[in-house]
Amino acid sequence: MKRLIMLLVFAAISAGVAGGYWYWQQSGQSGAGATKAEKGKGKGGRGGPLTVKATRAVSKPMPVLIEAVGTVESEHSVQVRAQVSGVLQVVQFKEGDKVKAGQTLFQIDPRTFQAQYNQAMAAVARDKAQLENAKAQQQRLEPLLKREFITRQEYDVAVTSAKSLEATLQSSQAQLEQAKIQLDYSRITAPINGRTGQLSVRPGNLVVASGGGVTLVTINSTDPILVAFSIPERQLEQIRRYQNEKDMRIEILPDRAGAPVATGKLVFVDNTVTTQTGTVLLKTRVDNSKEVIWPGQFVNVRIVLTVEQDAVVLPEAAVQPGQEGSFVYLIDDASKVKVQPVKVSRQLGNEIVIASGVKAGDQVITEIPQTLMPGATVKIADGEARAGGEKGKGKGKGKGEGKAEKKSEAKSD
């Protein structure tokens, strides 16, 4: 009897467990189906179109560029040194001042040179007087020689004396000129227009001319100014092809993302390729009247070879990198998504020039949802660009706006 009761209890427990397992299976299957249905709604497939942001490719003029990094150089740089020795008396400018050619910069004690100049002037005056006396003596003896009152030898001595004194006068005049040059050298002037640098000698110091002397100050010309830069040798052919074209110009940008501060023409192409780097040195001369760039400064150089008038342009966000090259998500006329390979020509800032794969007017997706799949149906987000860069109209209005318009129309009717 006890055994029968135990069997009945075991059977009841087994039936309860089996019923619970069956109920759990049924509820799990229904929940999975609901989840799949919800996911399908967001994939632009079975659940309806996916909302995306898009833009259209545009055609506009875009420059063909070569970019490099350059160094600003002075077209003229002069190290000012003393040409005579002496005590530096006066500095007639301040460090960093702009100076003009011929402007007095330094004054060395001129007294010694002035004395030498005065001495040379006196020697010239003496030699002139002696020469005049010798010539007068020669003129007095000439008629006496004709009458044979004096010998030929006496006359020749007078002629020789006059010629000797004439040579002495020329020597004295040369010494006077030398003394004048030394006196002028005591006043040091600016040889070029430019801006002065740091002073290395102060008033009261002895400056020495021998052995090249100490550089008193360096003057750099700043307007116009040169910018030197290097390009890879493979780009030299493009430079030579366009260098005589009027559209070619070189822009200087201290900040790569900023606007050009100076524009110039190519003035120098080196006659050899640097074997260590495989680059060629070039230089441009630019106007720098406002001194926006400085000698020794590193700047960005943009060589505008020509302007492509009808370039196809897309924003950077629309072009995606891939293992086989760049591509875009193209939206066709049926609002279907297609993966379209493209060939990128160049990038300028946030814009990319497309060489092939997309034409002007094609609509591409700019923000890629994670659930986007090729072949999916999509719709453009409200207010996004549709054609020619214009914002969406009509369909792009919100539901509330559409209802409000209908109400206003009903009232007016």
**What SS3 string covers the chain?**
CHHHHHHHHHHHHHHHHHHHHHHHHHHHHHHHHHHHHHHHHHCCCCCCCEEEEEEECEEEEEEEEEEEEEEEEECCEEEEECCCCEEEEEECCCCCCEECCCCEEEEECCHHHHHHHHHHHHHHHHHHHHHHHHHHHHHHHHHHHHCCCCCHHHHHHHHHHHHHHHHHHHHHHHHHHHHHHHHHHCEEECCCCEEECCCCCCCCCEECCHHHCCEEEEEECCCCEEEEEEEEHHHHHHHHHHCCCCCCEEEEECCCCCCCCEEEEEEEECCCCECCCCEEEEEEEECCCCCCCCCCCEEEEEEEEEEEEEEEEEEHHHCECCCCCCEEEEECCCCEEEEEECEEEEEECCEEEEEECCCCCCEEEEECCCCCCCCCEEEECCCCECCCCCECCCCCCCHHHHHHHHHHHHHHC
CA dihedral 287, 288, 293, 294 (to 10 degrees): 110
Place of tokens 């011929």: 102
Are the beta carbons of 318 and 366 closer than 8 angstroms? Answer: yes
DSSP H helices in 193-325: 236-242
Q: Where are the domains of the chain?
A: 50-62+309-393, 65-75+223-308, 81-109+186-220, 110-185
Q: Minimum mean pLDDT among 140-144, 218-222, 226-230, 379-383: which range?
A: 379-383
In the 8-state DSSP scheme, what is residue 190?
A: -
Are the beta carbons of 169 and 61 closer than 8 angstroms? Answer: no
Sign (positive or negative) of CA dihedral 165, 166, 171, 176: positive
Contacts of 343 (CB under 8 A, 6+ apart): 325, 326, 354, 355, 356, 357
Burial grade of 23 (CB within 10 A; 0-12, 13-18, 19 or more)? exposed
Task: Give pLDDT, residue 23.
Answer: 52
CATH class of 65-75+223-308: mainly beta
For 199-218, what is the mean pLDDT? 88
DSSP H helices in 186-340: 236-242
Phi and psi for 406 in degrees, rounded to 5?
-65, -40
Number of residues that this document lists for the chain: 413
* CA distance linking residue 103 with residue 99, whole number of Å: 7
Task: Give pLDDT, residue 379.
Answer: 85
Are the beta carbons of 49 and 336 closer than 8 angstroms? Answer: no
- Predicted confidence (pLDDT) at residue 44 exceeds the cutoff of 50: no
For 228-238, what is the mean pLDDT? 93
Output the CA angle 395-366-351, nearest 5 degrees. Answer: 120
Query: For residue 5, what pLDDT band results from cuts at 50, 70 and 90?
Result: low
Task: Give pLDDT, residue 213.
Answer: 75
Q: What CATH number matches the domain at 50-62+309-393, 3.50.50.60, 1.10.3720.10, 2.40.420.20, 3.40.50.460? A: 2.40.420.20
* CA distance linking residue 391 with residue 388, whole number of Å: 9
pLDDT in tens, 176-197: 999 999 999 999 999 999 999 9
Q: Decide which of 117 and 382 is more confident.
A: 117
Arithmetic mean of pLDDT over the chain:
83
Instruction: Please state whether the predicted TM-score (pTM) of the whole model is above 0.75.
Output: no
Q: Minimum mean pLDDT among 207-211, 221-225, 292-296, 388-392: which range?
A: 388-392
Task: Give pLDDT, residue 269.
Answer: 94
CATH class of 81-109+186-220: mainly beta
pLDDT in tens, 305-345: 988 889 999 999 999 998 889 999 999 888 899 999 999 98
Query: How far out from the chain centre does Cα 401 lie?
Result: 51
Q: Decide which of 408 and 257 is more confident.
A: 257
- Predicted confidence (pLDDT) at residue 405 exceeds the cutoff of 80: no
- Predicted confidence (pLDDT) at residue 402 exceeds the cutoff of 70: no
For 372-389, what is the mean pLDDT? 70
For domain 110-185, the CATH architecture is Orthogonal Bundle (1.10)
Task: Give pLDDT, residue 340.
Answer: 92
Is the fold of 81-109+186-220 the same as that of 110-185?
no
Query: For residue 129, what pLDDT band results from cuts at 50, 70 and 90?
Result: very high
